[in-house]
Amino acid sequence: MASPLLETIARTRVARFSELKPFSLAFVDSLLPEGRKKNLKVIGRGVVENADMQPPITEDHGFTISYIVVPPGGGAGLHAHKTAEVFIPISGPVHVLIGDDKEELVLQPLDVISVPTGVMRGFRNYGERELTMLALVGGHTGGGSVTWHDEVLSRAAAESGLAVDEQGNLKRLPNFKMPEDVEGSVL
């Protein structure tokens, strides 16, 4: 018989990968071809633009941990946070884009990069297979809202009908059309 402590930990502090809810529409870049990915929150609410994204481990740890499953050609558009962000590819190489000029640094599985506060960053999966990576963002609020590169915001608005409101939440524009393959919340 498990102790009350173990039962509490098992109920409130364990996240089973197979039970995590994937969100394909997590951020403003999510419907752009190079922004396609599934975000799976694990610990901490952190940086979110879709209010429906809730982690199974909700207690504030002072950081946020998420898995990101990236299809071939997918990734994340250039963005910055008010804290450092760490990427760890698990199942394949990932190309990390740094700065407005999108300089590339290739990480192999289990390599680690810590992108400094305020630096524009993004990533791409140029491989032929889906890759899973781990992302960590510091701070009790996960670094606050995302600061997107102007190019990402203008393309998202024009091509997918998505924008971000003043509170940092996703909003539909009149030209928004939901693709059929989106998992998670539908806004």
The string of pLDDT tens digits covering residues 142-175 is: 667 899 999 999 999 999 999 999 888 899 999 9
The pTM (predicted TM-score) of the whole model is: 0.93
What domain range is 131 assigned to? 21-172
Does residue 183 fall inside a structural domain?
no
The string of pLDDT tens digits covering residues 166-187 is: 888 899 999 998 888 887 766 6
* CA Rg value for the chain: 16
Does residue 157 fall inside a structural domain?
yes
**15-53: burial string, b at 16+ Cβ within 10 Å, e else:** eeeeebbbbbbbbbbbbbebbbbbbbbbbbbbbbbbeeb
Domain count, the chain: 1
Element (H, E) at 151: helix 150-155
Could you tell me the CATH number of the domain that includes residue 85?
2.60.120.10
Interatomic CA distance for residues 64 and 19, integer angstroms: 18
